[in-house]
Chain A
Amino acid sequence: MMELLAGPLAYLVFFLVIALYYALITLGLNLQWGFTGLFNVGVAGFVLVGAYASAILTTPDDPGRIGGFGLPVPVGMVGAMLSAGLFALLVGIPALRLRHDYLAITTFGIAVTLQLVALNLQVLTGGPFGMNFVPRPLYDVLGGQNGWNLAYLLFVAALVLLVWWGLARLTTSPWGRVLRAIREDEAAAAAIGKHAFRFRLEAFVLGSMVMGLAGAVYAHFIGFIAPEDFLPILTFQVWAMLIVGGAGDHRGAIAGAVLVWAIWTGSGMLLDLFVPPEGKAQAAALQVAGIGVALCLVLLFRPTGLLGRRD
């Protein structure tokens, strides 16, 4: 059994865990954009906050920085959600009362700012070298690397199902119907005024909390985080996933995440095979540019997504 988990299968497990990490983020963004029409350009920032919050709470004490507090991983995950939600409030309160593109600008701003903080506030974040020894719960009990990866995959899959179930219930509830009404019709939204602001804020905070949770999931899987894990490209990947999957559809969001991540890693592997090492950075840039163009093409020709709703 354990031997089977080595090699390609081990890679598949690793791939799926990361894909489901993206799926979680995409589900959070789907609540914001797909259901409420909120344009969050700072996805990477909220994931970053979640990852760092959980890492600070759960890592063993480090004399070089504040914390870690050595708390249990579930506490870290709750902390991740709360802190991502807190930052969502920080930008949501000033921006959500205004026209929708203000949110785009402020979320862009907070992602830039959080990236700076992660990079420079060494006493809290470890700076450019990031944070090591983020606990991987039950690592030894579950037989180390491969067995643990498989167990973590099951855990993340369960988490995705749970979040999906919860969001599906929420979005079909009366609360979700109000969100749709707000999304479809700015005028109707204006008519309910302050009310619309509250619904928007709730959806925005909730979506950001899911992103924070995803950040924690990532941190405890890799066991090491650094600012470069949460660059603007992450925001872009998640947007590509949501658009490919079709905004407003939970299943599409998950499928889009897995599909885009497969294309992303696949094209990355091809680059590794065919591009000499000295051209790697430039080839990677070309890959990103390609995804940028692809997103524009989908927006132009398949605005409801490649896998999305048929309605």
Chain B
Amino acid sequence: MILQQLADGLVLGSIIALGAIGLTLTYAILRFANFAHGEFLTFGAYLALLALGQFQALSTTTFGPLSFGWPLLASLAVAILATGGLALLLDRLLFAKLGRAGVAIAVVMGSFGAALALRNLLFFAFGGEPQYYSRAIQIALPLLPRSVLGGVRVTPDQLAVLGITVLLVIAMHLFLSRATLGRAMRAVAHNPQLATVTGIDVAAVVRWTWIIGAGLAAVAGVFAGLTVQIRPTMGLDLLLPLFAAVILGGIGSPLGAVLGGLIVGVAESLAVPLVGAEYRAAVAFLLLILILLVRPTGLFGERG
């Protein structure tokens, strides 16, 4: 049983991790806790669903044992772009203006309002019923036999989610440590004024941060839709685990966010047999309080 929970936790954890990378980047670079980040996940998931309807008219083949094929990947690309666009639009209309007013908390509150509006608009547009990218039943493959600590069974889709997450995390790491834009993002996170002095166009870096953060959120949303279901409140339900992962990993540390996401995912999954599935969200809250008491800068954080 324990290995199975670990595996389920890692799948959930990789979704949280992808969402948390974007959240920690925008938190560090834009300097506010974006309560609308959860809705970026939801928006991405629904947009992919919309696009999928179009692409499936062209092709309905799937990759081997997976429930999806090119249409979903193309939809994922559309969702990434659209969610990035949504984030830019929100920044332009709301966050940038509130940020200039100089009251940091006004931006947080604005994001709270934007989250509510977005969530309810999605409910209005798509209704409250859960939806799925595919109705096909996936057969879980035994990775380890029952004799080994209860065994592990995972669906091909879950494996795909894990695999793509690993690739994306490696790509993000290389991007942030090697690419000029990635380094510029770290520089802006550390000190925007010095970044300006160094010749970095901070406004452009901020725009790219929104696009990358929201794009990763869209991926997380699509993955959550693929492995669980698509609902208007899916992002809201993930928001607390996302924040817990960000703070656990240390604000501004993408690798910390990944590790934090995996820890939160596994902890939630392991807690299910102890406290019941209905309390899994509370696990993220307890982790959050614990880390704030013990080490508020997080595991990899530099700043409080």
Report A's interface with B, CB cutoff 8 A: 37, 39, 41, 90-91, 93-95, 97-102, 104-106, 108-110, 112-113, 116-117, 119-120, 232-233, 236, 239, 243, 281-282, 285-286, 288-293, 295-296, 299-300, 303
Contacts and interface: CB of A to CB of B under 8 A. Distances in A.
A292 B112 CA distance: 8
Contacts of A236: 112-113, 116
B110 A101 contact: no
27 contacts: A41-B35, A94-B293, A95-B292, A99-B304, A104-B33, A108-B239, A108-B240, A109-B285, A116-B282, A117-B279, A117-B282, A119-B278, A120-B278, A120-B279, A232-B236, A233-B116, A236-B112, A236-B113, A281-B123, A288-B117, A291-B116, A292-B114, A292-B115, A292-B117, A292-B120, A300-B97, A300-B98
Contacts of B35: 41, 104, 108
B243 A109 contact: yes
B281 A292 contact: no
Contacts of A102: 247, 292, 296
A91 B289 contact: yes
Interface residues of B, number: 47
Contact of A105 (B117, B124, B288, B304): B288
Interface in B111-167: 112-121, 123-124, 127-128
A289 B117 CA distance: 4
Contacts of A110: 285
Contact of B32 (A90, A101, A233, A299): A101
B259 interface: no
A102 B297 CA distance: 11
B171 interface: no
Interface stretch (B47-55, B76-84, B100-108, B193-201): B100-108
Nearest to B114: A296
Most buried by A among B115, B117, B243: B117
B87 interface: no
Contact of A109 (B110, B114, B120, B284): B284
Contact of A113 (B109, B115, B121, B285): B285
A233 B284 CA distance: 21
Given A286-B124, A292-B116, A300-B97, A106 B292 contact: yes
Contact of A285 (B114, B115, B124): B124
Contacts of A101: 32-33, 104-105, 108
Closest 3 CB pairs of A and B: A292-B117, A292-B116, A289-B120
Contacts of A97: 296
Given A94-B293, A300-B98, A295 B121 contact: no
A110 B243 CA distance: 13
Nearest to B297: A98
Contacts of A292: 113-118, 120
Nearest to B243: A105
Contacts of B109: 39, 239, 243, 295, 299
B273 interface: no
Nearest to A284: B120
B94 interface: yes
Interface string B285-300: 1001100110010000
Contacts of A91: 289
B106 A299 contact: yes
Interface string B247-274: 1000000000000000000000000000
B69 interface: no
B112 to A, nearest CB: 7
Most buried by B among A99, A116, A285, A290: A285
B129 to A, nearest CB: 10
B104 A100 contact: yes
B121 A285 contact: yes
Contacts of A120: 276, 278-279
A291 B119 CA distance: 12
